[in-house]
Structure 1
Amino acid sequence: MAWLPGTRVGSYEVVDVLGDGGMGKVFRVRHLISNRTEAMKVLLATSSASQEMLDRFTQEIRVLATLNHPNISVLHTAFHHEEQLVMIMEYVEGMDLRHALAAGITLDQAVAYVRQLLTALDYAHSRGVIHRDIKPSNIMITPWGQVKVLDFGLALAAPEARLTMTGALVGSMHYIAPEQLSGEGHDARSDMYAVGVTLYEMITGRLPIEGTNYAQVIGGLLQHRPVSPSHINPLIPTEFSAIVMKALAKEKRERWQNAREFLTALDASHLGQASEFRVVSPSTPEVTGAAQGGVIGETSKYEPDQLSEITLKLAHYVGPIAGVLVKRASSSTNDLQALVEKVAQEIEREDARQRFLSSVSGRFRRSGVL
């Protein structure tokens, strides 16, 4: 598939490529009449797609058509174009959680993001839809801190048959619940396990079960109890740590039974002074080095938290390179306003640049810095 910028697909014009995967590509497109920016997900040419891929893509369309929630990416329409099956989705501006982790987030932010994720899953589960592939790269964070859950390509409405080859696993290995490895059915509690893995990673900077190959990961999922987050970092309250560990229970009957239970437990927990503790994930080395440069800094002109806040907000628009840009700008500017204005020039689109400036200025104005 070689749809270059400027290519017209029905009423849409391709702007650029957003992603490329085994099932197809995702493009940023512009509607020719409304001028609205949207995301276009295209399955590989049907002549080369397997029936399973077609079924799964069609299933995603049908599942998304039943969902309407502020924390779930919206399906606008679907159609065929030159033997291509096309989905037009809400374009979510921001960055995925995987890159947000590399830039560094606080415990408060982790809880805020997970609360929104659980709210979205509570809605989906109430309609018989299990996501089956919750992981940081499928969770978008907008510049305003809103969570959008993506990729229901593995999701199934409860009455449907399982769309996968016999014995095959779906989902990402580190986030798969133990019962999936033994062939048991996937239900809401399996999604709760994936949320637990994601939250664990958010607050510790590491995965609960690690390994260099599938065999090690599978062995760990089945046999090893993860180290409690509070043992990794004593600043994490033991009560909060216990909430995360319950989500990671090997037996699904011992986990949070649904998203509502998980939410209630989070609401009852208190992070106290640890709420502003910032975690930087080491899972993406080339990103982490850049992010840490922005978070920690090498100059006394700026507070580490100020640089960290700017890095995270800038990363929504330019990606993981934000840490390098903030670090570079911090060494050549003398005050916070000049720093913010300098890094804003790295954002290509004027409207996005103004949103960045507004969000950063608003944040620091409330805290009395600007």
Structure 2
Amino acid sequence: MRTGYTLNGRYRIIRALGEGGMANVYLAHDLILDRDVSVKLLRLDLRDDPGTIRRFQREALAATELVHSNIVQVYDVGEENGMQYLVMEYVEGTDLKAYIKDHFPIAYQEVIQIMEQILSAVKMAHEHNIIHRDLKPQNILIDRNRVAKITDFGIAVALSEHSLTQTNTVLGSVHYLSPEQARGGMATKQSDIYSLGIMLYEMLTGTVPFEGETAVSIALKHFQSEIPSVRDIDPRIPQALENVVLKATSKRPADRYTDVESMAEDLKTSLSPKRAGEVKFVPANDDDGETKVLPASALSSAPLPASAATKSEPEDSSAAATMTQDDSTPAKGKKKRKKSRHPRRRKFLLAGLVALLLILGVLIGMAIFKPQMTSVPSVIGRKEATARTELKTAHLTVGEVHKTASSKVKVNRVVRTEPRSGTQLKRQSAVDLWISTGPKRFKLGNYQGDSYASTAAKLEALGFTVHRESVHSSSVPAGKIIQQSIAAGKNVVPANSDMTFSVSTGSATVTLADLSNKTKAQAQKYATDHNLNLAFQYAYSTDVAKDHVIKQSPGEGAVVHEGDEVTLTISRGEQKADSTSTDKFSVNVKIPFDDSSDESDAADDSDSSSSSSSSTANLVQIYLKDQDHGLSSIYKQMTITADTTVTLPFTVAAGKSGAYKVVRDGHVIASDNHVTKN
């Protein structure tokens, strides 16, 4: 189906996601609900069978009943131009097959967690009498939050009529096929349990138990060969955990778990110390009714039937009768009979000897020309040099050497081999090695200014331990990261790393006190203690002493944030009748923001886990001289985070001048000792 095609006027095809044995899958966008979905179209060669179409529709509709967090939800079922389709939940992530390849070896606890999700979903399906029939890692999707979701319910059941073969190909993956399905029998709930056991085997070992050149050869192994021991590949696997694999993959369905709930309960406790001494599971060895072929030796050593033993009696009796009838020449007759029987025996003996020699010749020839075989030794956990020596001793060579991260195997030691240990190979065959580079490392980014919630969630999902320290800041929005304890660019092992973030809570709030009748110095101290900025106005007053606060704006009880400005009106005292005229004017002064000191501080203390709001602000103090102020006291104090322009009001006697001085972080950056009107 081409990109851009709109199915049923609703689902616009974006791109192909994959092709399977029964259906093709596409990513599409639901134009009505405005969401991405997966669209699965029944394969062309199955669309012409009315029976298959009916079953597809019936079972697909039944699949919509399976609402479970670990099952890909079916949203819609339909048909267009003869095309049968399913619309399902789109899971952004990967399938379990690729997940095993990318993350192997997987921690046992994580293996159990993934399997518990899958078992929970299969349990619900079985309760609805729906058998999947095609459980395999390719049908298990793992999303970005490591949630497992089973797909292909419905189709697998709908095509049950083709339970074993379809156009001479095995339906589903033969690597996960149960013995009864491989024989052509009907699939049951125990068939799904067998497939689940094979999947558990693969997650523990990184490979499937049976390989072969053809699907038929693999299918034969499923009902003829015993499942290889996972402990032979990884001896650290607890026996209780191996027993789950062995019981789930028993040849006879009766020897397997009765239901997936029993398997889940057994798996849940498989790592418990209480089961440390558990013996290896051995299924009952009952006759399953298969036809047996007896060896030739059994036939040759078996006693002859009575009818065969008496078959030669007439000859003997007739011979005896002949001897009694001719009494005149008994010796001559006996001699003739003996001579006539000896050549026949010699012929049989000679033929038997020739056959024996031929058989011996064939056996000797097979022994001489049969390739010499050897077994791959277990070198997991060995140093590379030691592994090479052991492989050489086993008459094998080292093939490609790969590097892979591992949290369970020490650095520079063997994580796994391919083929795995115990595999029979011709001598001098190559064995590939995977060498541990230690736990997987993660390169930290610079998270300053990022949202704490999303950053912490991302890092915790990777295995980090994340801590939060709340810090008030007037320059950094609430919820944003101010500082991180581990520097950006550093490569660390997530499981061994604690990250502490200093997170802004925004500006702290201040409930203003009553500053009336306070001295200017007292008001400035209050502002400094509460990180407030002050602005002053002046007025004559007969009630309030000179240099005391007449009023404030905002008033008493108002709630402001740190860094906000409060305007105070200061008393000049009583106005004298003969006071000289004054000039009133204002001067605008631009104060540039300087971040160079912050950068040098950050370089000197890059690993600091704490910070204050001043790390991204300048402290500015302004001194003003006019009729009401002197340069010895601060006129205004403020913090800035960018270039700022302030307006300075002057009141000077006619013909006189004023002055100002601006100090930024302890350094004078601007001053003027002769400020006049115009």
TM-score of the superposition, structure 1-length normalised? Answer: 0.73
Preserved contact between residue 63 and residue 152 of structure 1 (Cα < 8 Å) = no
Q: Distance in 2 between matches of 1:91 and 1:38?
A: 5
Partner of 1:211: 212
Any unmatched runs of 5+ in structure 1?
A: 279-288, 305-326, 342-353
Partner of 2:665: none
Preserved contact between residue 61 and residue 77 of structure 2 (Cα < 8 Å) = no
Partner of 1:363: 462
Q: Which has the higher helix share?
A: 1
Work out the percentage of aligned pairs sharing the same amino acid. 28
By how many angstroms is 1:95 displaced?
0.6
Partner of 2:98: 99
Q: Distance in 2 between matches of 1:46 and 1:243?
A: 39
SS in 1 for 2:85: strand
By how many angstroms is 1:247 displaced?
0.7
Seen in structure 2, the aligned counterparts of structure 1 residues 356 and 32 have a Cα distance that, compared at 3 Å, is farther
Q: Distance in 1 between matches of 2:110 and 2:21?
A: 32
Partner of 2:180: 179
Seen in structure 2, the aligned counterparts of structure 1 residues 149 and 356 have a Cα distance that, compared at 3 Å, is farther
What is the letter of the counterpart of residue 462 of structure 2?
A: R
Q: What does 1:160-199 align with in structure 2 at a 5 Å threshold?
A: 162-164=160-162, 170-199=171-200
Q: Distance in 1 between matches of 2:185 and 2:455?
A: 46
Q: What does 1:261-300 align with in structure 2 at a 5 Å threshold?
A: 261-270=262-271, 293=403, 295=405
Q: Which moved more, 1:95-104 or 1:223-232?
A: 223-232
Seen in structure 2, the aligned counterparts of structure 1 residues 134 and 22 have a Cα distance that, compared at 3 Å, is closer
Q: What does 1:51-66 align with in structure 2 at a 5 Å threshold?
A: 51=50, 53-55=52-54, 57-66=56-65
Q: Distance in 1 between matches of 2:209 and 2:46?
A: 41
By how many angstroms is 1:295 displaced?
2.2
By how many angstroms is 1:52 displaced?
5.7
By how many angstroms is 1:12 displaced?
2.0
Q: Distance in 1 between matches of 2:128 and 2:27?
A: 29
Seen in structure 2, the aligned counterparts of structure 1 residues 185 and 33 have a Cα distance that, compared at 3 Å, is closer
Q: Distance in 2 between matches of 1:111 and 1:361?
A: 20
Q: Distance in 2 between matches of 1:295 and 1:22?
A: 34
SS in 2 for 1:25: strand
Partner of 1:309: none
Seen in structure 2, the aligned counterparts of structure 1 residues 51 and 265 have a Cα distance that, compared at 3 Å, is same
SS in 2 for 1:130: coil
Deviations 1:128-161 (A, max 9, x none): 110000000000111111111001245438xxx9
- The correspondence for 2:444, drawn from 304, 324, 337, is 337
By how many angstroms is 1:171 displaced?
2.8
Task: Give me the CA root mean square deviation.
Answer: 3.5
What is the letter of the counterpart of residue 11 of structure 2?
A: Y
Q: Distance in 1 between matches of 2:442 and 2:64?
A: 49
By how many angstroms is 1:294 displaced?
5.5
Deviations 1:287-341 (A, max 9, x none): xx99x655259xx9xx99xxxxxxxxxxxxxxxxxxxxxx9xx9xxx97214x99
Partner of 2:5: 7
Seen in structure 2, the aligned counterparts of structure 1 residues 14 and 260 have a Cα distance that, compared at 3 Å, is same
Q: Which has the higher strand share?
A: 2
Any unmatched runs of 5+ in structure 2?
A: 274-379, 382-399, 413-436, 448-452, 466-494, 500-678
By how many angstroms is 1:369 displaced?
4.0
Preserved contact between residue 55 and residue 163 of structure 1 (Cα < 8 Å) = no
Q: Distance in 1 between matches of 2:442 and 2:201?
A: 36
Q: What does 1:72-91 align with in structure 2 at a 5 Å threshold?
A: 72-91=71-90
Seen in structure 2, the aligned counterparts of structure 1 residues 355 and 189 have a Cα distance that, compared at 3 Å, is farther
By how many angstroms is 1:356 displaced?
9.6
Tell me which of the two structures has the higher relative contact order, counting C-alpha pairs closer than 8 angstroms and 6 or more residues apart: 1
Q: Distance in 1 between matches of 2:259 and 2:16?
A: 36
Seen in structure 2, the aligned counterparts of structure 1 residues 357 and 95 have a Cα distance that, compared at 3 Å, is farther
By how many angstroms is 1:163 displaced?
1.9
Partner of 2:304: none
For this pair of structures, how many residues does the alignment match? 306
SS in 1 for 2:464: helix
Q: Which has the larger radius of gyration?
A: 2
Preserved contact between residue 112 and residue 268 of structure 2 (Cα < 8 Å) = no
What is the letter of the counterpart of residue 144 of structure 1?
A: N
